[in-house]
Structure 1
Amino acid sequence: MRLRLLANIIVPLVATGCCNAGSDPSQSAQPSTSAAPPAASAAPSAAETPAPAPTAERQIAGAAHILITWKGAERAPKTVTRSKEDAKKRAEEVLKQVKDGKATFEELVAKYTDDEISKAANGALGNFERNAMPPAFADATFAMEVGKTSDIVETPQGFHIIKRTR
């Protein structure tokens, strides 16, 4: 008796697939009470076969940054007390040093960044997809060639000087 009951459930599932993929949703998903599998249908024509969904190419870049923030900026450390105007001036001074080449980017990160998390990695943020960063940050990063440094980029977190690494 048990085997017969299982056969009535398993055979229709095997024949139609356990999730009824591609079946008409208006039809019931209840198993058939007959032990005979349903008749096989002809393969769909090319016109009936759905085209694969288009896949967007993933955009990935890598970057390091120097972040100069101000009191009240998003995720600003509590130790930061400078105003937004003072933060901008400081970012301009740091950018000048980057462009003059008097210090390496990594040395400037160690001395100036307010991002304690990336500071330990010389400002490195790793690789990321475009939509993982604030739009202004992502736009600046993806517009640069690898090895280049941005001008000052403002986001809600502060003023960034970005170096593209990938």
Structure 2
Amino acid sequence: MRLRLLPNIVLLFVATACCNASSDPSQNAAPIGSAAAPSPSAVTSLGPLAALAPSAAEAPAPAPTAERQIAGAAHILVAWKGAERAPKTVTRTKDDAKKRAQEVHKLVKDGKQTFEELVTKYTDDEISKAANGAIGNFERNAMPPAFADATFAMEVGAISDVVETAQGYHIIKRTR
């Protein structure tokens, strides 16, 4: 059956080349009998005969795109007075916040209390506190660079050292 339909395909290509012809000869379709592939509109107009068109394996590969980097995290935030988005109830200095964050980090590493228990006692992030410190999944560029770098450098389940951002000092647990 393919051999019988082949003349119809050639006619379709000829018609497509003719209809797409421009007054500028350099813009015209390839001459009849050349090895040029049909235009996308010609291939889609073939319907069931599209199987005779060049396969996707023969088509050039699309340009590689950057793979999205996504991680999930939970954190304990220790803010200082004047830190970005710090609650008005926070009155500690930056030095005091750093000391407190280091103390909380030691408690996390000791393992006597779970990360989630320490979140409820020590975090200044009221939004994530209700979710045991979870801030969800995010792309690398959605977080401050120091936070993202620390998170993406860890394995799932690992706990970071104390990380400073404009919001305060974080102890990060990678969840994804």
- TM (normalized to structure 2)? 0.68
SS in 2 for 1:151: strand
Question: Do the aligned partners of residues 39 and 78 (structure 1) sit closer, same or farther apart at CA in structure 2, a change above 3 Å counting?
Answer: same
The answer as to 2:128 corresponding to 1:112 is: no
Is there any run of 5+ residues in structure 2 with no aligned partner, and where?
1-17, 22-28, 38-58
Distance 2:157 2:60 in 1: 44
Aligned to 1:30: none
Q: Distance in 1 between matches of 2:122 and 2:147?
A: 19
* Structure 2 counterpart of 1:103: 113
Larger radius of gyration: 2
**Residue 39 in 1 paired to residue 19 in 2?**
yes
- Correspondent of 1:93 among 81, 100, 103: 103
Q: Which residue of 2 aligns with 1:151?
A: 161
CA distance in 2, matches of 1:93, 1:151: 11
The structure where helix makes up a greater share of residues is 2
Shift of 1:82: 0.2
Please report how far the alpha carbon of residue 54 of structure 1 lies from its aligned counterpart in structure 2 after TM superposition.
Answer: 3.1
Gaps of 5+ in 1: 1-37
- 1:55 is aligned to 65
Q: Measured at CA, do residues 154 and 40 of structure 1 come closer, stay the same or move farther in structure 2, by a change above 3 Å?
A: same
The DSSP-based 3-state class of the residue aligned with 2:19 is coil
Question: Distance between the aligned counterparts of 1:120 and 1:129, measured in 2?
Answer: 22
Count how many residue pairs are aligned between Structure 1 and Structure 2: 127
Cα deviation per residue 1:59-118 (whole Å; 9 max; x = unaligned)? Answer: 000000000000000000000000000000100110000000111000000000000000
Paired with 2:64 and 2:134, the residues of 1 have a C-alpha distance of 33
